[in-house]
Structure 1
């Protein structure tokens, strides 16, 4: 069990650091949106690439933070009976959802995205706007980043729930003897 705990802790730590770093893009988006509004309505100037950079930042943040959402239990869950289950029951539901829904979805996204992204890289796809950002192909690569980061965190999620299903509780969140 200690080896599993170390793997879970390592994955969670990497996901947490990456999530915190990427979350700074939200500040960039706020500042650049404010700058765009001021430039457009005060000075009558509109810079397409600056506007698009906010869209790129949003796309990168949303595609890179899926694993962080899973780590923090902020993902979407259809809660019909989940809330009334005990720790072991919740873990079994999470394991089933991971195997039946999440893992196959990640596989389909990965395999179907590769040709789409390869085509974009071959074309060096750029913005439709003349003054837009010429790196749309790089942005599309973040579809694979999303899948990879979410799959990485899914391993931790699966292992944590497997451990809970086997022993009935999560030892990482259990109160220590001196805290009781």
Structure 2
């Protein structure tokens, strides 16, 4: 179990690095959007490449950030139902979801996306818009994103198995220090001297 948790921590570090890097893509998309708008309004100059690079950056954040959302437990849940279940039951449901839905979906979508990516790369497929961008980097985001999501799914699977075995913390806890030992409560038993006011 220790080896599985060590591998899980390595995957988590990779996912966290990717997630923190994607923040800068959002900034880049914002700056490009502002520059494009200013150039169009002030100088009547437009660029389809500027427009498309914004879509590419958004697609990168969306596709490559799915694993980070899973790591942060920020993905969509039906809380009305989930909150009525015990932690063990929710963990078992998560394990089933990862094994029978998430990992097969990531595999199938990556397999289906690969021929589209290779075809676009080999033919040098370009955007149909004048001055548009080459398409294969955009298509590459699909298998890359699902590969990262599958990796994080494996990490989450290991954490949930460890939790059920009593070898790890609850992976569904939202707070990072939810399993830290509560601070020791110390009680001052020193008696006040006669005539001394109690503070």
Q: Which residue of 1 aligns with 2:180?
A: 175
1:88-137 Cα shifts (integer Å, max 9, x gaps): 2221111011112111211210121111212111211111122111x211
Instruction: List alignment gaps of at least 5 residues for structure 1.
Output: none
Q: Which residue of 2 aligns with 1:114?
A: 114
- CA distance, structure 1, for counterparts of residue 54 and residue 170 of structure 2: 42
Q: Which residue of 2 aligns with 1:160?
A: 159
1:138-160 Cα shifts (integer Å, max 9, x gaps): 21011110111101111111111
Q: Which residue of 2 aligns with 1:17?
A: 17
Instruction: List alignment gaps of at least 5 residues for structure 2.
Output: 172-177, 186-199
- CA distance, structure 2, for counterparts of residue 15 and residue 179 of structure 1: 34
CA contact (8 A) 2:160 2:170 kept: no
- CA distance, structure 1, for counterparts of residue 164 and residue 183 of structure 2: 26
2:75 maps to 1:49: no
Q: Which residue of 2 aligns with 1:105?
A: 105
- CA distance, structure 2, for counterparts of residue 142 and residue 64 of structure 1: 7
CA contact (8 A) 2:113 2:139 kept: no
Displaced runs of 4+ in structure 1, greater than 6 A?
none
2:3 maps to 1:3: yes
Report which of the two has the higher share of helix.
Answer: 1
Change (3 A) 1:13 1:168: closer
- CA distance, structure 1, for counterparts of residue 49 and residue 122 of structure 2: 22
CA contact (8 A) 1:88 1:169 kept: no
Q: Which residue of 2 aligns with 1:76?
A: 76
Q: TM-score, normalised by structure 1?
A: 0.90
Of residues 152-161 and 118-127 in structure 1, the stretch that sits farther from structure 2 once superposed is 118-127
Q: Which has the larger radius of gyration?
A: 2
Q: Supply the RMSD in Å over aligned alpha carbons.
A: 2.0
Q: TM-score, normalised by structure 2?
A: 0.82
1:15-34 Cα shifts (integer Å, max 9, x gaps): 10111012210001111111
Q: Count matched residues.
A: 179
1:43-66 Cα shifts (integer Å, max 9, x gaps): 211112111111111111111111
